[in-house]
Amino acid sequence: MKPKPINHFFEDSNIPRLSKQLNPSHPLCLLAELVEWEELEEEFGTLYSEGNSRPPKPIRLMTGLLMLQHMSGLSDEQTVRHWIENPYWQYFTGFDILQWKPPIDPSLLSYFRKRIGKKGLERILEETIRMAIDAGFISIKNLSDVIVDTTVMEKNIAYPTDARLYFKMIEKMIKMARRTGVAYRQSYKHVTKSLLAEVGRHLHAKQMKRAKKKIKKLKTILRRVYIDIRRRLQDKPDLKALFNPLFVKADKLLHTDPKSSKKVYSIHESDVQCLSKGKARIRYEFGCKASVVVTHKQGLALSCQALKGHPYDGHTLKEALADAEQRSGHKIERAVVDKGYKGHNVTHVIVYKSGQKKGVKTTAIKRFIKRRQAIEPHIGHMKSEGKLRRNFLKGFFGDQINAILCGVGHNLRLLFNFFQKQPAFS
């Protein structure tokens, strides 16, 4: 069944309307007028099929909740709870009568993100860029100069240690065996818990030899469980297919060198990478690398991409600039990057590196290069006010959509602050 727009017709004319009670110059009211809701409803409406299925929620409601969620950096549950308490949020999502009940179950936001996918979220990012131009926050001319940088978007995992990874893998394999009815020799439940606690105590006391001995014992138990269950599934191909993802991870844990690039850092998140950005306070971060492109003066996000693996920054520049041009619809002429982009091989855009002296002849270009670090506070706001610091969405697809939505939220916050500073706002 296709989604229907929100019904504003009510027989009782005595019900007070939000449009007549709220401040029309409030930033959220102004933002609601800027969004082309009808176009978004038409585009996203094609993703729903005809039929006698459960009626879907209005597209404006779902899209508006996603935008407000990442503008405020809230979880799905907090977003729905805050929507009930804030009449401006209700007006932004298309309601003209104050609502007292939750509009949706929080889990529907997850389904909607998957339904519209990466392309749909990129369309919302394009919409925020168009809104910034229509509002006068940025001119088309300013879209040609950008700053590019990368950062780490951490995944929601515990700090990976060998002892805990072995323990978790044993636990997962035994749990799967119980669920599927596969017999096993021993669960080692109490033994592994005791060993894990002992490892923690030995490491706290700097007793490294004792700790390594216990870690080796946990690894031996994992090998026993792995071999035992695999042997029992030799004549059961259907069950073996269910266990294969766990077998692959267990095999990596047992045979991968600790310093290998293919090391497992999480049992439930197989795409997590160990990234070292040379920070004194944080030596290693676990997640994925994210590429951010913002305009040179205003800091409007033109592109936010999650990068698979651990690519060199210089190899990601061409793709980042191409994506920014596609999202904004305008050609980028100049870009400034840090020294980590050396050897980028981008020829269609003039690229300046921080500290560059060759080819820098005018004071205007010197000032242009000195503003390279202006992207850092914007990334900081995406992490502290948005959800770029820690990604709670699963898999690399979750990395991709979280990065794009962080750009959407950042642009909406910039527009909100822009309207708040206008003399009309009171």
User: Which residue type occupies 236?
Assistant: K
344-378 burial, b at 16+ Cβ within 10 Å, e below that, comes to bebeebebbbbebeeeeeeeebeebbeebebbeeb
DSSP H helical segments within 46-152, as ranges?
59-72, 76-85, 87-92, 107-134
pLDDT for the residue 270: 84
**136-158+272-395: CATH number:** 3.30.420
- Residue 1, pLDDT above cutoff 90: no
β pairing state of 350-353 and 334-337: parallel
pLDDT for the residue 12: 57
Cβ atoms 262, 256 nearer than 8 A: yes
Q: Which residues contact 23 (CB under 8 A, 6 or more apart)?
A: 29, 426
Cβ atoms 275, 153 nearer than 8 A: no
What is the rounded distance in angstroms from the CA atom of residue 212 to the CA atom of residue 216?
6
- Residue 226, pLDDT above cutoff 90: yes
Cβ atoms 307, 293 nearer than 8 A: no
| Better pLDDT: 317 or 422 | 317
Helix, strand, coil abundance in the chain, percent, nearest 5: 55, 10, 35
What is the rounded distance in angstroms from the CA atom of residue 416 to the CA atom of residue 207?
55
Q: How many CA atoms lie within 13 A of 374 on its CB side?
A: 20
Among residues 20, 19, 66, the alpha carbon closest in space to that of 40 is found at 66
- Residues of the chain within CATH 3.30.420 domain(s) are 136-158+272-395
What is the rounded distance in angstroms from the CA atom of residue 36 to the CA atom of residue 59?
12
Residue indicated by tokens 């997962």: 172
Confidence band (pLDDT; 50, 70, 90) for 13?
low
Give per-residue pLDDT as tens, 183-221: 999 999 999 999 999 999 999 999 999 999 999 999 999
Q: What is the mean pLDDT of the chain?
A: 91
What is the rounded distance in angstroms from the CA atom of residue 284 to the CA atom of residue 22?
48
Give the global pTM: 0.91
Q: How many CA atoms lie within 13 A of 195 on its CB side?
A: 24
Q: How many CA atoms lie within 13 A of 186 on its CB side?
A: 9
- Residue 52, pLDDT above cutoff 80: no
Give per-residue pLDDT as tens, 120-148: 999 999 999 999 999 999 999 999 999 99
Phi, psi (5° rounding) for residue 169? Answer: -65, -40
Q: How many CA atoms lie within 13 A of 22 on its CB side?
A: 22
Confidence band (pLDDT; 50, 70, 90) for 9?
low
Confidence band (pLDDT; 50, 70, 90) for 277?
confident
Of 4-8, 32-36, 195-199, 255-259, the least confident: 4-8
167-203 burial, b at 16+ Cβ within 10 Å, e below that, comes to bbbbbbbbebbeeeebeeeebbeeebeebbebbeebb
pLDDT for the residue 8: 67
What is the rounded distance in angstroms from the CA atom of residue 190 to the CA atom of residue 194?
6
- Sign, CA dihedral 132-133-136-140, equals positive
Mean pLDDT of the 408-412 span: 96
Cβ atoms 27, 415 nearer than 8 A: yes
pLDDT for the residue 345: 83
Terminal Cα-to-Cα distance of the chain (whole angstroms): 43
| Strands annotated E in 123-249 | 145-155
Quote the percentage of the chain above a pLDDT of 70: 98
Mean pLDDT of the 299-307 span: 95
pLDDT for the residue 425: 53
Quote the percentage of the chain above a pLDDT of 90: 71
